[in-house]
Chain A
Amino acid sequence: MRTPFLPPSVLERWVRAWIGRDPSTSYVLGDLREEYDARRERSSAASAATWYLIQGARVAGRLRWERRRHLPSDTSPPRRDGLATDVRQALRFLLRRPGFTTAIVLTVALAVASTTVAFAVVDGVLLEPLPYRAPQRLVAIWETNPRGNQRNVVSPANFLTWHDELESFDALASIIEGSTTFVYGGEPERVGSVPASPAYFDIVGAEPLAGRLYGPDDDAPGAPAVAVLSEDFWRRRFGADPGVVGATAQIGGTPHTIVGVLPDRYDLDLEWSFSGVGSRDVWRPPGFPPEARQASGRYLQVVARLAPGTTAASAQTEADALAARLAEAYPDRQRGWGINIVPLHADLVGDTRSTVLVVFGAVCFVLLIACANVANLLLTRASERGQEMAVRAAMGASRGRIARQLLVEGGLLSVAGGVLGFVLAAWGVRSVVGAAPDIPRIDAVGLDASVLGFAVLTTAAAALLFGLAPAFRLPGTSPTAPLAGRRASTGRETQRIRSALVVAQLALSLVLLAGAGLLTRSLVNRLATGAGFDVSGVVSAEVQLGSTSYPTTEERAAFFEQLVDRVRALPGVERASAITFPPLGGAGSRTSFRPLDRPPPAPGEEPGADVRWVHRDYYETMGIPVIEGRTFGAADAADAPLVTVINETGARQLWPGESAVGQRIEMEWGDTLVAEVVGVVADVRHDGPDTPPYPMFYWEHRQFGAFNQMSLVVRTTRADAGSVVEGIRRELAELDPGLPLYNVHTMSELLDDALRRARFTTVSLGLFALVALMLACIGIYGVMAQVAARRTQEIGIRIALGASRRSILRLVVGQGMVQVGVAIALGIAGALALSRVLESLVFDLSAADPTTLAATALLLGLVALVACWLPARRAAATDPVEAIRQE
């Protein structure tokens, strides 16, 4: 018997290894041996071995495939091309580069956080509906005056007429904010008082917290006096005791029954306030007397609910027709006046809209710049990873696979940044709401589903923005070029993308810088303008006399004279005086008048002016310069001829080119007053620097005391102006223990308040612009550093051939500055295009101010120059021998 042929053992070992661990491996090998032996007998060793190898490979392949198909998945070897693998690989890659990863995650987190906070404000202030019943049907109704004010307060006569005649509305309510003295249990307190129509509660859909809200019956003539307390006041003063319902309190000197409590959320944030105390504590029916139908004084705010199916526009049409009829019927008080219907949400938000949107826009710019920066960082990484990617491609990874891995890396970075950003945003939203930057409806700002959704979207968008750039910029189809260590053209392409990103960043930063520059200059202008007088050390505090205790002008005048004398004698007080409505206090009085040196104007076309009653030392106390003539003196008493002092704007408007002193005017204020102008004083900006001065007449309070309320104004010698307030309180209590002192403010505080919004916008925009500039400079620095590094060899050759360091500097810096130049051109174009947005925020300046634009462009250019110069200096210091030896 012959010796059987056995397959070469090396082949057998291979086949065994290929088949792997299988229960039948040995038997299969045995079967193959049998067949090999048969074949070897018929043919050559080579042919038999070839056959063996082929058959072995086929069997092994088939068995392996079969195993993978049928083995339960948990025992199958991990797939090497799944998403999980990508995530694992990306994590490994990112964790191995903690600096790189941290930089990106922090950038994304900051960008997402600031965008989310800004969006939360936009959402709460501008997008969320008012928390009242049928909010889209609520409107504010204003009068428009002949001088173009679109939001003039309303006269009771007009309100009552509208109420009776306009059919577009379900309900109309008038509402005023003032203050009154509230006495309960013998304790007087100055409280905010709101005479509001009963319909108001119906309009906002209010339900009482305790007791009931008052209704139309309570507003009828002769009905018993009732009042509703605000929730806040009820908690503060009565410890939320429901037993207070039914109790009686003295309000403004008359007994009122407290019938219920109004939840605070139904308290509209009113814009106008007449001697208010900043809170709205007691609500009462307005109780218009019959003669109110004829009164021409305007002081009401009106809110209404549109009837179902009516729009603000159709209501406006009806109102316009009514306004025209009223102008016909009452030319003396209605000619030139119109009606303006504004959706309540827009009315409450008002010009805050532009502030909020500008800040939001700025934040979005920062987000874009941050994304560009991250994309830049990733691109740098990607080009450094050219070899890694080439190896992957050579091993059979498709372009799609590699792109997916890069996207997964971008995704991980942005998810981490997004989560951290949302945490930061939660904190940021609280801080912004806490800082309450004088934005209406700021209390509606919070983190809710839509804000969360926005954060998620932002993060996703960021991931796409910066993840796609390197994915598109994959090393080319030829994997060999980077493997060979040669820098392929792909590097140059990456360079182009990075340069474009840097140009975009710089241009966006310039837009922000220009905006910040404009707002900063506006703030400086506002501060320089101020209120028209020296606010430092001045305190104002209001006193209101009960009309029953001080019924006559003489008594009231005597009281205030005495009070001013006593306060002036206090230690720390330099001067003291009084005025009916102090500057920056938010309230005022205005009426029409006519100069007597010209024919009377047509009814309704009389010029208007602000009016104030003052104690004679007012100008010295406030430091208001006298321009011409004199101010009031001790001689201008009740029995002396009526005199008046006018402000500069009034004098210039009424008597241009001539002296106002000696002119005579006539003014209606209950009575017809005829007075001689004895002096001209400098303008005071009563409503803050933003409102241009309006003609103003001052009267001596002893000559014609129209009000039983005045504010003390006190110039102190102390740094801490507030410390004299206790002394003032004591003096007041000695004169009349029943009178509270309220609305106590320092003038600097009030001026700060008036500038709060401007300061908020300026500081936020400035901050964002700085961040943007920093990010953009990091961007251009990175690009220039890479350019310099890529050209090391070339630069070395140039130096070796005799190029000076200076010319190398010029070469590299020049290349960077070309990008800066393009960016400046684009940025200026962008700033000009967006200047309209800032128009309502700039002060005493054009929104396209060339000086500001030039200055910011110069600033950007200088900072960018430094960013380019640093890598250029390094390039110029290249050792030519070293450089040429490279590669």
Chain B
Amino acid sequence: MADALGEFEQLVLLAILQLDTEAHAARVREAIEEGAHRRVTRGALYATLDRLTAKGFVEWDVEESTPERGGIPRRRFRVTKPGVAALRRSYHAVRTLSRGLESLLREGRRA
């Protein structure tokens, strides 16, 4: 069975997909903090990005450096096909298990 995704991994993948060509580490972090209303430590993000890369769910390209970076290039992340598939599996699982609980879950959200 393919690796199941952890919750934070799902958030990271979704954020990268949302950001598309803007998916740099700092932006991913901000996007999760805004979208999920939670604090994200840099260490956790880098560790997760490393892990997702190792699993083959994420790859990155190197972009030109900026002056602020003093010559160090920047990574732009992209979700791979297996990454999308894994995300889809998680999404389906959540949907299947949520069936019939919609009102409760909406209720919870409202509260």
Q: Which residues of A contact B (CB under 8 A)?
A: 1, 3-4, 6, 22-24, 26-35, 37-38, 55, 58-63, 65-66, 70
**20 sample A-B contacts, Cβ–Cβ < 8 Å, listed by A number:** A3-B67, A4-B67, A23-B50, A24-B46, A24-B50, A24-B75, A30-B74, A31-B24, A31-B42, A32-B42, A33-B69, A34-B26, A59-B41, A59-B46, A61-B43, A63-B43, A66-B47, A66-B50, A66-B51, A70-B51
The answer to whether A63 touches B25, judged by C-beta atoms less than 8 angstroms apart, is: no
Majority-rule SS of A interface residues: helix
Residues of A within 8 A of B47 (CB): 62-63, 65-66
The residue in chain B whose Cβ has the minimal distance to the Cβ of A56 is B42
Distance of B98 from chain A, by nearest CB (Å): 31
Query: In the complex, A30→B67 CA distance in Å?
Result: 10
Q: A31-B25, A31-B26, A66-B51 are in contact. Are A4 and B46 (CB under 8 A)?
A: no
The answer to whether B65 touches A35, judged by C-beta atoms less than 8 angstroms apart, is: no
Query: In the complex, A38→B53 CA distance in Å?
Result: 28
The answer to whether A70 touches B43, judged by C-beta atoms less than 8 angstroms apart, is: no
Distance of A739 from chain B, by nearest CB (Å): 98
Residues of B within 8 A of A32 (CB): 42
Residues of B within 8 A of A30 (CB): 65, 69-70, 72-74
Contact of A58 among B41, B50, B53 (CB under 8 A): B41
Flag whether B49 is at the interface (Cβ < 8 A): yes
Query: In the complex, A386→B99 CA distance in Å?
Result: 68
Residues of A within 8 A of B44 (CB): 62
Residues of A within 8 A of B51 (CB): 66, 70
Query: In the complex, A30→B60 CA distance in Å?
Result: 15
Distance of A76 from chain B, by nearest CB (Å): 15
Residues of B within 8 A of A3 (CB): 67
The residue in chain A whose Cβ has the minimal distance to the Cβ of B72 is A30
The residue in chain A whose Cβ has the minimal distance to the Cβ of B25 is A31
Query: In the complex, A63→B50 CA distance in Å?
Result: 9
Q: Which residues of B contact A (CB under 8 A)?
A: 24-26, 41-44, 46-47, 49-51, 53-54, 65-70, 72-75
The answer to whether B68 touches A58, judged by C-beta atoms less than 8 angstroms apart, is: no
Distance of B68 from chain A, by nearest CB (Å): 4
Residues of B within 8 A of A58 (CB): 41-43
Contact of B68 among A33, A55, A62 (CB under 8 A): A33
Query: In the complex, A59→B49 CA distance in Å?
Result: 13
The answer to whether B70 touches A4, judged by C-beta atoms less than 8 angstroms apart, is: yes
The residue in chain B whose Cβ has the minimal distance to the Cβ of A4 is B68
Given known contacts A3-B67, A6-B70, A70-B51, what 10 new A-B pairs fall within 8 Å (CB)?
Answer: A24-B46, A24-B49, A29-B72, A33-B70, A33-B72, A34-B26, A58-B41, A62-B47, A63-B43, A65-B47
Residues of A within 8 A of B69 (CB): 30, 33-34
The residue in chain B whose Cβ has the minimal distance to the Cβ of A28 is B46
The answer to whether B68 touches A63, judged by C-beta atoms less than 8 angstroms apart, is: no
Residues of B within 8 A of A70 (CB): 51, 54
Count of A-B residue pairs with CB < 8 Å: 72
Residues of B within 8 A of A29 (CB): 72
The residue in chain A whose Cβ has the minimal distance to the Cβ of B24 is A31
The answer to whether A27 touches B73, judged by C-beta atoms less than 8 angstroms apart, is: yes
Query: In the complex, A70→B25 CA distance in Å?
Result: 21
Residues of A within 8 A of B50 (CB): 22-24, 63, 66
The residue in chain A whose Cβ has the minimal distance to the Cβ of B49 is A24
Residues of B within 8 A of A6 (CB): 70
Q: What are the 7 closest A-B residue pairs judged by CB atoms, nearest first?
A: A62-B43, A30-B72, A66-B47, A59-B43, A4-B68, A37-B68, A30-B69
The answer to whether B25 touches A27, judged by C-beta atoms less than 8 angstroms apart, is: yes
The answer to whether B26 touches A35, judged by C-beta atoms less than 8 angstroms apart, is: yes
Distance of B58 from chain A, by nearest CB (Å): 11
Residue in A22, A26, A28, A32 with the greatest tally of chain B CB atoms within 10 Å:
A28
Distance of A3 from chain B, by nearest CB (Å): 8
The residue in chain B whose Cβ has the minimal distance to the Cβ of A25 is B46
Distance of B60 from chain A, by nearest CB (Å): 8
The answer to whether A27 touches B68, judged by C-beta atoms less than 8 angstroms apart, is: no
The answer to whether B46 touches A63, judged by C-beta atoms less than 8 angstroms apart, is: yes
Query: In the complex, A286→B89 CA distance in Å?
Result: 96
Query: In the complex, A194→B63 CA distance in Å?
Result: 108
The answer to whether A27 touches B67, judged by C-beta atoms less than 8 angstroms apart, is: no
The answer to whether A1 touches B67, judged by C-beta atoms less than 8 angstroms apart, is: yes
The residue in chain A whose Cβ has the minimal distance to the Cβ of B74 is A30
Distance of B14 from chain A, by nearest CB (Å): 20
Residues of A within 8 A of B70 (CB): 4, 6, 30, 33
Residues of B within 8 A of A34 (CB): 26, 66, 68-69
Distance of B29 from chain A, by nearest CB (Å): 9
Contact of A27 among B54, B66, B74 (CB under 8 A): B74
The residue in chain B whose Cβ has the minimal distance to the Cβ of A1 is B67
The residue in chain A whose Cβ has the minimal distance to the Cβ of B71 is A30
Residues of B within 8 A of A63 (CB): 43, 46-47, 50
Residues of A within 8 A of B25 (CB): 27-28, 31
Query: In the complex, A62→B66 CA distance in Å?
Result: 26
Query: In the complex, A70→B65 CA distance in Å?
Result: 30
The answer to whether A59 touches B42, judged by C-beta atoms less than 8 angstroms apart, is: yes
The residue in chain B whose Cβ has the minimal distance to the Cβ of A26 is B72
Residues of A within 8 A of B68 (CB): 4, 33-34, 37-38
Query: In the complex, A55→B47 CA distance in Å?
Result: 14
Residue in A24, A38, A58 with the greatest tally of chain B CB atoms within 10 Å:
A24
The answer to whether A55 touches B42, judged by C-beta atoms less than 8 angstroms apart, is: yes
The residue in chain A whose Cβ has the minimal distance to the Cβ of B47 is A66
Query: In the complex, A34→B70 CA distance in Å?
Result: 9
Distance of B63 from chain A, by nearest CB (Å): 10
Distance of A19 from chain B, by nearest CB (Å): 9
Residues of A within 8 A of B72 (CB): 26-27, 29-30, 33
Contact of B75 among A4, A27, A38, A61 (CB under 8 A): A27
Distance of A860 from chain B, by nearest CB (Å): 71
The answer to whether A62 touches B73, judged by C-beta atoms less than 8 angstroms apart, is: no
Query: In the complex, A513→B9 CA distance in Å?
Result: 78
Residues of A within 8 A of B67 (CB): 1, 3-4
Residue in B41, B43, B51 with the greatest tally of chain A CB atoms within 10 Å:
B43
Query: In the complex, A38→B69 CA distance in Å?
Result: 11
Residues of B within 8 A of A62 (CB): 41, 43-44, 46-47
Query: In the complex, A30→B41 CA distance in Å?
Result: 16
Residues of B within 8 A of A31 (CB): 24-26, 42, 74
The residue in chain B whose Cβ has the minimal distance to the Cβ of A5 is B68
The residue in chain A whose Cβ has the minimal distance to the Cβ of B67 is A4
